[in-house]
């Protein structure tokens, strides 16, 4: 069974600085997909970034980038130049290729301070 672990319940960062969120996962599959989703106070889920396991290059979306370490089963998210609007809960997610099961971690609450 696949599991997703986020070990940081809360993180705080000063505006314009950088914060890194950690995520580890466990799977026996060789190919899969990893995601980071953002849930602001409105509770609407928003896709932040996506990584395909067979691609070695780390994904980047504007101020958001990942560090994907397949051997270590690690998938961290870096938020650069943090903005007040980045305040939200961030979820790491895993989707295998054997079926459509989409599993999430427990989430990390990020607070950006002015």
Partner 1 sequence: DGGITQSPKYLFRKEGQNVTLSCEQNLNHDAMYWYRQDPGQGLRLIYYSQIVNDFQKGDIAEGYSVSREKKESFPLTVTSAQKNPTAFYLCASIEGGRGKTEAFFGQGTRLTVV
- Footprint on this chain of partner 1 (rule: CB under 8 A): 6, 9, 32-33, 35, 37, 43-45, 47, 50, 52, 91, 93, 95, 97, 99-107
> Is residue 99 within 8 Å of 32, Cβ to Cβ?
no
Closest to 23 in 3D by CA, of 63, 87, 78: 78
Q: Residue 43 is encoded by which pair of tokens?
A: 């509770």
In the complex, least distance from residue 98 CB atom to partner 1, rounded to whole angstroms: 10
In the complex, least distance from residue 66 CB atom to partner 1, rounded to whole angstroms: 14
**Alpha carbon distance 23, 62 (integer Å):** 20
3-state DSSP: the chain helix, strand, coil percent, rounded to 5?
5, 55, 45
Based on CB atoms, which residue is closest to partner 1, 32 or 68?
Answer: 32
Based on CB atoms, which residue is closest to partner 1, 22 or 95?
Answer: 95
Based on CB atoms, which residue is closest to partner 1, 16 or 47?
Answer: 47
């Amino acid at each position: 069974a696949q599991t997703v672990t986020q070990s940081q319940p809360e993180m705080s960062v000063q505006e314009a600085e950088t914060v890194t969120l950690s995520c580890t996962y466990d799977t026996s599959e060789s190919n899969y997909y990893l995601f980071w989703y953002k849930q602001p106070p409105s509770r609407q889920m928003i896709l932040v970034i996506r990584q395909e396991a067979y691609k070695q290059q780390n994904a980047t979306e504007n101020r958001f980038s990942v560090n994907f370490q397949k051997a270590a089963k690690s998938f961290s998210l870096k938020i650069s130049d943090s903005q007040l609007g980045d305040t939200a809960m961030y979820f790491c997610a895993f989707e295998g290729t054997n079926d459509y099961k989409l599993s999430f971690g427990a989430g990390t609450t990020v607070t950006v301070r002015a």
